[in-house]
Amino acid sequence: LPTCKASPMTTSVLDSCLNFPEEEEVILRYWKEIDAFRTSISLSAGKPEYTFYDGPPFATGLPHYGHILAGTIKDTVTRYAHQTGHKVSRRFGWDCHGLPVEYEIDKALGLNSREEVLAMGIGVYNSHCRSIVQRYTREWETVVTRLGRWIDFENDYRTMDLSFMESVWWVFKTLFDKGLVYRGYKVMPYSTTCATPLSNFEAGLNYKDVTDIAVVVSFPLRDEPNVSLVAWTTTPWTLPSNLALCVNAHLNYVQVRSVADKKIYIVAEMRLTQLFPALRSKKFQQGDEARIYEVLKSFKGAELVGRMYEPLFHFYDSAERRSCAFKVIADEYVTSEAGTGIVHQAPAFGEDDYRVCVRNKIVDVIMNGERSLPCPVDANGRFVSPVSGDLQGMPVKLADAAICSLLHKMGRLVLKESHEHSYPFCWRSDTPLIYKAVPSWFVAVETIRENLIQNNKQTYWVPASVKEKRFHNWLVDAKDWAISRNRFWGTPIPLWVSEDHKEMVAIGCVAELRAKCELADGSQIPMDLSDLHRESVDSLVVASPSRSGVFLHRVDEVFDCWFESGSMPYAQLHYPFECSEKEFLKKFPADFIAEGLDQTRGWFYTLMVISTALFNKPAFKNLIVNGLVLAADGKKMSKRLKNYPDPTLVINAHGADALRLYLINSPVVKGETIKFVESGVRGVLRDVLLPWFNAFRFFTQQASRWEIKNSTGNKFTQDNDRVRKSQNIMDVWIMASLDSLVHFVHEEMRTYRLYTVVPRLVGFLGDLTNWYVRLNRSRLKGTDGEDSALTSLAVLYDVLLKMTVIMAPFTPFFAEYLYQHLRKRLLTSNTANLPEDAIGKADSVHYIMLPLAGNPKADGKVLVGMSLLQQVVELGRRAREAATISMKTPVKRVIIVCDSALTLDGLRGELESYVLEELNTWEIVLTSDVETWCSISALPNLPILAKRLGKQVRSAADAIKGLDSASLRSFSRTGSIMICVDGKLLHFSKGDLIVKSAFSGDSTRYIATSSSDGGLTVAVCTVQDDALRRQGITRDFCNRVNKLRKKRKLNIADQVDIFYAESAPLDNISTTRALACNSNLLNRARIYPVDFSSCRGQILISDKYASPGGSNNLSIALAVPAPSLAPAAKKKFAGYVALETLLATCDLSNSKIHGSLENNPFELKLGIDIFPSASSARSLGKGILAPSKPCA
C-alpha cells in the first residue's frame, strides 16, 4: 500500500489509536493506484446484470446531507449487489437544465424580465447558462469520492448533451404519436420573479406562514340593487378579473339586514361570523344576534344560481361578457368551513375557478382561446391592459392595498382584516407565487391513470407505506401533466405547428430534423449540427404537409426538467439510437433506485408516467425512499441560518465510515426524519468503529505474543480446520452468531431493509468486542495454555476476516483497512491458481463475494445460555452500580433467580465461570425458587387498553392488579393470559400488562435488579470484608499497571519491571498484603510487582495515587529491566555495596557469574541466584515475602 505519514497501514497496528479520516485518505489513494472501481467492474464481466439508475442532481450547488444520505444508500446497495455476484454499472448523471440554472444567471446578469433575455439573445443567454452548469462538478466528485462511493464520473451523462436531448425528443414524439400530447390551459403555480410556471411538487417545497389582507366585497344583484352577495378573498389582486360568483347548491343561505348600516347581504347561514366579526368576539353572548343583524329570508344555494350581479370593475365589462358572465354558478368545492360561502371566480388565477367557469361556459377557451381568459397580468406578475390607472404596471402582490382603497371609494368594501395562513413561495427566488393560467403542452396522464396504478403494484418500495398510501393516492388523483415551460435553457419541445395550431409535426431525432426542417431562408441544416438548444432550432421551419407555401414554426416552450429526468432510463443510453433493443431490455426496468421522500411526486412519479406511457411498465423494480435530514433544532437545514455543520468538516473530523453508518443506522432509511447531530457521528466512531479496531488490535497483539512464545518459530496463519473443530462454548457461540448474521443479512438485503440489517451488524460487532473478546482475553493471552490460545486466535481471525467482507458495503474504508492487514496471515502457497477476486489474493476487499450461511453446530442451549449470560451480566452490573461497588472490588455472592430451571441450566458448566469473572464474584447461586426470592405484580397499560376496552378499562385494571403471582409468572413466560372482566373472559397479550418484579430477600445484605418482563432477577451480596477489599486492591493495581503501559505506548512484547512503594498503609489491607494474598491474580495477569527499593533500571513512567481501601499514597513505576538477585541471594549478600555496581555492568550471557567480594569468593547461578529482571527474580525466584498475618 502507498506510504503516508504516521499511517497505520504502513506502520505498526499495535499503536493504541487510529486516525480514521487520515487512514481513509490513504485508502482512497490505494484505490486510485489499483483502479479499484473499474477493476471490480471488469472482474464482474459475464455475471448477471444488476441495473441501477442514479437520479441526476443539479451541479449548480454543493452536495448536502440529503445527497450524502441518498448516495450512501445507493452505494451500500450497489456494493452489496456486486459482492453477491452481479455486474453493476454505476453512472453519475447531471441535471443541467431548468430554473435553478436560469435563476443563477438572472441574478448574475441583473435580468428581471423575459424581454431583457430576448433583447440579449437566446444564444448569448444560453451560453451563460452553459458556462455555470457544471460549476461545482469537481466539488461534487471530490465529496462523493471522499464518502467512499464508487460511481463512474468519467462516463457520466448530462441532460444538456445532444445524445440525451435526442432521446428526450424520441420520448416526446412517441407520446405524441400515441395521442397522449395536447395543448391546453392550466392554472399553475407561477413564479413572477423567474417568469415561469412551476409544478405542484415544486410549489410544495417552500411554504411559509404569512399575513395577508383578507376582504369581504359586495356584489349588488342587478334585479335587486339594494341586495348584495358578499364574497371573501385573501387575494384582492384577483378581483379586477372577476367573472362569476360560486355557491354550493346544497348549503343554506340567508338574506340578512345589518343593524349597523341597514344594508342587505346574502351569505351562507353557517358563515355569518365572517360577515359580522362581532359574532366572534369573546364578549358576544347567545341572544345578542338581534343587535347585529336581522334574518329576512333563508333558502338553498340552488335558488341563487343564474342570478346576475353588477361587476366590480369595468375592465372586462362588455355586452359580450354580460351575456355569459357576472352571474352566480354552483359547485361542490364551495364549503361552509371558511369565507362567506360565496367564492369570487377569477378563472385565470384559480384551478377551481378555471374548472368551474369553463364548465359553466363563463369562458370558452376552445372556441375563443386565450382571449376568453381575463388575465391582465404579464409574465413578471405586473398588471397590464385592460387594467388601467395607478394599477397598471404594479406587481400584483403589492397591489392589494391600492385595490382595497378603490373598493372603499366605490362603496364595495364591506370588511377588511388581516389573515394568517400558509402560502407557497418560489423555491429558487424565495418570493410569493401566484396561481396563473398559462397555455401549456400536456401529457394526458388521466387516460393512463389505471395503468399507472397497476404498474405501481408491480414495484417494491421500502417503506411500503409510501407506495401504498402517498404514491398510490397521488396516482389515483393524477392529473394531466403540464410538461412545457416558457423558458430558454432547456430541451426545446420538438413540435412545429401552424399559426392556428391545426397542423402539427413532431420531430423525434436529428436525422428527422435534417429531413423535415430547413432554415427560414430555405437553406439546408448544416451537417455539423451538434446542438439542439433553442438557439440552434428556433429558426428552423417545416413545410406544411397539406398547404403549399405555408411553414410551421417550432413552439416557444422547452421541456420541464422533470420530463428530462423522467426520460433518463432511455436518454442515458441514447436509446433507441446507439443502444439496441436487446441491450436496452437488459437494463430496463432498473433493479434499484433510491431518492428522498420529496421525490414521491417528483422523479419517482415522472419515471412511472413516462415508462407507463411508452411501454406500460414501471421504470424500476425496487425502491428505497429515505426521509429528510433536518438540522439539530428540527428545522430544515439552511445555509442562511447556518444550523448544520459543514459535511466536509464532519468527514475530516470523524471519517466517512462514521458518517455513513450514522445515517444508514437511523430511521431515515425507512422514510422517517432524522435530526442531524454531529455528536451522533462521533458516537458511531466511539461505540462501533473504535471497539472494532481495538478487537483487531488485540488480536494482532496476541498473535504476535503467540508467535514469540511458539518455539517452532511459525507465524500465525488462518486455520479453518481448527476453527471448525473447536468445542469451546464461546467459539461455538460466536461462530453460530456469525452464521446467523450472514443468513440474516442476505435475507434482509434481498428485501432492501437496511433499517434491520445495519442495527444487526452493529449489534454483532458489539457481541464480538464486548463479549467474545472481553470474555476470552485471558484465554487469548495464553492463560489456558498456548493451544487454547491458538484456537481462540483462529476463531477471532476468522470472524474478523469475514466481518470485513460483510461490512464492506457499509463501511468501505475500514473494511479495506482491516482486510489489507488480515490478508497477510492467509495461507498463500497456491494463490496462482486462485481467481483474482478470491479472498487473500484479491487486492481489495470489495472484489470479494460475500460469505454464504453454513450449518452452525451450536445447539439452542448455547445460544440461550449466552443470551442469559448477557442479561445476567448487565443486570449484575446495574445492581453493583446501585450499591456503588466498583467492578474491581469482588463480591462474595451473586444470586440468579429465574422461574425456568431449564433456562438456568444454560448457564451451568463453562458459562458459569464467565459469570464469575464478569461479575467479579466468588460464588454464583442459580435458583428457580422465585417465590422465595421475588415478588411479582402487574399494572394495566392504560394508553393501550383504554382504546380497546373503553369503559371496561377500570374493571380490567382492577382485575389485573388482583392477579396472583402464579398467573403473572405464567404470563411472563407465555405473553398471553385470559382474565375475567365484568363476567367475561378477555384475552390480554404482551404489552397490555406492565409486569414488575421486586426482590424480596434480605435487603440489608443484597441489592437486586430485574429484567423488564420480571422473568429474571440478579441479586448481588453487598457485605464486604478485608479479604474482598484486598482482592479489589489487587485488581485495581493490575488495572493501573496496564494503563501505564498503554500511556507509555508499550507493545505486548515490551518487557518491563514493575515497582511500587506505599506510605501510611492500613495494616490488614495494605497494598503489600493485598498483593501477597492474591498472587494467583497477579500470575494470571503476568504482573510481578517488586518493592521500589529493588529498582535498578531506568524508570519509563510512574504514577502516584490513593489506593481505594489501601494506602493513602501509593507509587507505581515501570522501569527498563535490569539484572536482579533472587530474594535468598539478596539476603546472603546484604551489605555488599560493590555487588550493586557489578550487577549494573555484568554480562548475563553466561550461565554463572563468579568472583570475590572483600576477599570472599562468590558464585551466582543464572536462573537461581540472579535473573535478567526484577520481575523474573520475583516470579521465578519465589520473591513474594510471606505475609506477617494470615490472609484469611
- pLDDT digits 0-9 by tens, 69-105: 999 999 999 999 999 999 999 999 988 888 888 888 8
DSSP state of 530: -
Catalytic residue among 56, 197, 236, 439: 56
CB of 999 closer than 8 Å to CB of 1019: yes
Average the pLDDT over 480-501 and give the result: 90
CB of 218 closer than 8 Å to CB of 256: no
Cβ atoms within 10 Å of 1151's Cβ, excluding its own = 9
Question: Which range has the worst mean pLDDT, 4-8, 399-403, 949-953?
Answer: 4-8
Q: At residue 616, what are phi and psi to the nearest 5 degrees?
A: 55, 45
Distance CA 610, CA 662 (A): 36
Q: b/e per residue, 165-191, with b = 16+ CB within 10 A?
A: bbbbbbbbbbbbeeebbeeebbbbbbb
- pLDDT digits 0-9 by tens, 747-793: 999 999 999 999 999 999 999 999 999 988 888 888 888 888 899 99
Distance CA 1052, CA 1045 (A): 9
Q: What is the pLDDT of residue 1077?
A: 85
Which cell is 244 given? 362569476
pLDDT at 237 over 90: yes
Report which secondary-structure segment, H or E, holds 127. Answer: helix 122-132
The model's confidence at residue 65, banded by pLDDT at 50, 70 and 90, is confident
| Selection from 187, 239, 191 nearest residue 381 by Cα | 191
DSSP state of 1175: H
Question: Which range has the worst mean pLDDT, 26-40, 841-855, 903-917, 1167-1181?
Answer: 1167-1181
Which cell is 1013 given? 418482563
Distance CA 771, CA 783 (A): 18
Angle between the N-to-C axes of helices 65-82 and 656-664, in degrees from 0 to 180, rounded to the nearest 10: 90
1049 is catalytic: no
H-type helices in 919-1062, by residue range? 930-933, 942-949, 953-961, 965-974, 1026-1047
Strand ranges, E, within 264-412: 264-268, 293-300, 327-330, 343-345
CB of 418 closer than 8 Å to CB of 213: yes
Residues whose CB falls within 8 Å of the CB of residue 708, separated by 6 or more in sequence, listed in order: 1053
Surface-to-core class of residue 416, CB atoms within 10 Å of its CB (0-12 exposed, 13-18 middle, 19+ buried): middle
Q: What is the pLDDT of residue 5?
A: 31
Average the pLDDT over 721-742 and give the result: 89
Four-CA torsion 964, 967, 969, 971, nearest 10 degrees: -140
Four-CA torsion 239, 240, 246, 247, nearest 10 degrees: 40
Distance CA 1142, CA 1131 (A): 17
Distance CA 1002, CA 1115 (A): 40
Four-CA torsion 1165, 1170, 1171, 1176, nearest 10 degrees: 110
Strand partners, 911: none
Distance CA 263, CA 601 (A): 49
Q: Look up cell 493451544; give the residue.
A: 787
Q: What is the pLDDT of residue 4?
A: 33
| DSSP state letters, 907-919 | TSTHHHHHHHHHT
Average the pLDDT over 399-413 and give the result: 92
Higher-confidence residue of 1159 and 496: namely 496
Catalytic residue among 300, 416, 621, 636: 636
Phi-psi label, residue 1158: left if phi above 0, alpha if psi -120 to 50, beta otherwise: left
H-type helices in 62-196, by residue range? 65-82, 99-109, 114-120, 122-132, 137-146, 162-177
Percent of the chain's residues with pLDDT above 90 = 40
Q: What is the pLDDT of residue 611?
A: 96
Catalytic residue among 47, 361, 635, 639: 639
Residues whose CB falls within 8 Å of the CB of residue 390, separated by 6 or more in sequence, listed in order: 402
Q: What is the pLDDT of residue 1191?
A: 52
The model's confidence at residue 530, banded by pLDDT at 50, 70 and 90, is confident
CB of 266 closer than 8 Å to CB of 341: no
Catalytic residue among 95, 161, 331, 899: 95
User: Terminal CA-to-CA distance of the chain, rounded, Å?
Assistant: 58
Q: What is the pLDDT of residue 526?
A: 78
Residues whose CB falls within 8 Å of the CB of residue 655, separated by 6 or more in sequence, listed in order: 20, 21, 23, 24, 685, 689, 813
- pLDDT digits 0-9 by tens, 576-610: 999 888 889 989 999 999 998 888 888 999 999 99
> Collapsing DSSP states into helix, strand and coil, what is residue 440?
strand
Average the pLDDT over 113-120 and give the result: 86
Q: What's the CA angle centered on 767, arms 862 and 866, to 5 degrees?
A: 20
| DSSP state letters, 573-619 | TTTTTTS-HHHHHHS-SEEEEEEEGGGTTTHHHHHHHHHHHHHSS-S
Side chain identity at 592, as an amino acid letter?
A: F
Q: What is the pLDDT of residue 1186?
A: 37
Distance CA 82, CA 808 (A): 11
The model's confidence at residue 572, banded by pLDDT at 50, 70 and 90, is very high
Side chain identity at 1075, as an amino acid letter?
A: L
Q: What is the pLDDT of residue 1181?
A: 55
861 is catalytic: no
pLDDT at 459 over 50: yes
Catalytic residue among 441, 481, 603, 706: 603
Distance CA 906, CA 926 (A): 11
On the CB side of 882, CA atoms within 13 Å amount to: 17
On the CB side of 309, CA atoms within 13 Å amount to: 29
The model's confidence at residue 135, banded by pLDDT at 50, 70 and 90, is confident
| Selection from 822, 829, 1014 nearest residue 936 by Cα | 1014
- pLDDT digits 0-9 by tens, 845-902: 999 999 887 766 556 778 888 888 999 999 999 999 999 888 888 999 999 988 778 8
Q: What is the pLDDT of residue 631?
A: 84
Q: At residue 42, what are phi and psi to the nearest 5 degrees?
A: -65, -35
| Selection from 689, 535, 527 nearest residue 18 by Cα | 689
The model's confidence at residue 1184, banded by pLDDT at 50, 70 and 90, is very low
Give the helix, strand, coil percentages of the chain, each rounded to 5: 45, 20, 35
Q: What is the pLDDT of residue 8?
A: 39
Strand partners, 190: 197, 434
95 is catalytic: yes
Average the pLDDT over 355-372 and give the result: 74
Higher-confidence residue of 827 and 82: namely 82
Catalytic residue among 274, 345, 599, 718: 599
Surface-to-core class of residue 987, CB atoms within 10 Å of its CB (0-12 exposed, 13-18 middle, 19+ buried): exposed
- pLDDT digits 0-9 by tens, 945-962: 888 888 888 898 889 888
Average the pLDDT over 674-691 and give the result: 89
376 is catalytic: no
Which cell is 394 given? 404594479
pLDDT averaged over every residue in the chain: 86
Four-CA torsion 787, 790, 795, 796, nearest 10 degrees: 140
Which cell is 117 given? 433575455
Q: What's the CA angle centered on 367, arms 365 and 372, to 5 degrees?
A: 45
Average the pLDDT over 1046-1066 and give the result: 81
C-alpha pair distances (Å), 730 with each of 858, 913, 914: 10, 12, 10
Q: What is the pLDDT of residue 291?
A: 84
Strand partners, 267: 254
Q: What is the pLDDT of residue 326?
A: 93
Distance CA 41, CA 847 (A): 9
Catalytic residue among 562, 706, 733, 771: 562
Q: What is the pLDDT of residue 834?
A: 82
Q: What is the pLDDT of residue 318?
A: 82
Q: How far is CA 91 from the centre of its chain?
A: 22
Distance CA 443, CA 508 (A): 16
- pLDDT digits 0-9 by tens, 1111-1134: 778 889 888 888 887 777 777 776
On the CB side of 498, CA atoms within 13 Å amount to: 13
User: How long, in residues, is the chain?
Assistant: 1192
Q: What is the pLDDT of residue 1147?
A: 66
Q: Look up cell 340552488; give the residue.
A: 302
Percent of the chain's residues with pLDDT above 70 = 93
Four-CA torsion 268, 271, 272, 276, nearest 10 degrees: -130
CB of 325 closer than 8 Å to CB of 251: no
Average the pLDDT over 318-337 and give the result: 88
Q: Look up cell 490488614; give the residue.
A: 1068
pLDDT at 355 over 80: yes
Distance CA 868, CA 903 (A): 8
pLDDT at 644 over 70: yes
Question: Which range has the worst mean pLDDT, 6-15, 50-59, 224-233?
Answer: 6-15
pTM of the model: 0.80
Cβ atoms within 10 Å of 632's Cβ, excluding its own = 15
Higher-confidence residue of 57 and 857: namely 57
56 is catalytic: yes
Distance CA 956, CA 960 (A): 6
The model's confidence at residue 998, banded by pLDDT at 50, 70 and 90, is confident
| Selection from 273, 312, 318 nearest residue 293 by Cα | 273
Q: What is the pLDDT of residue 972?
A: 79
Which cell is 1166 given? 543464572
The model's confidence at residue 1187, banded by pLDDT at 50, 70 and 90, is very low
The model's confidence at residue 1185, banded by pLDDT at 50, 70 and 90, is very low
Q: What is the pLDDT of residue 11?
A: 41
CB of 715 closer than 8 Å to CB of 745: no
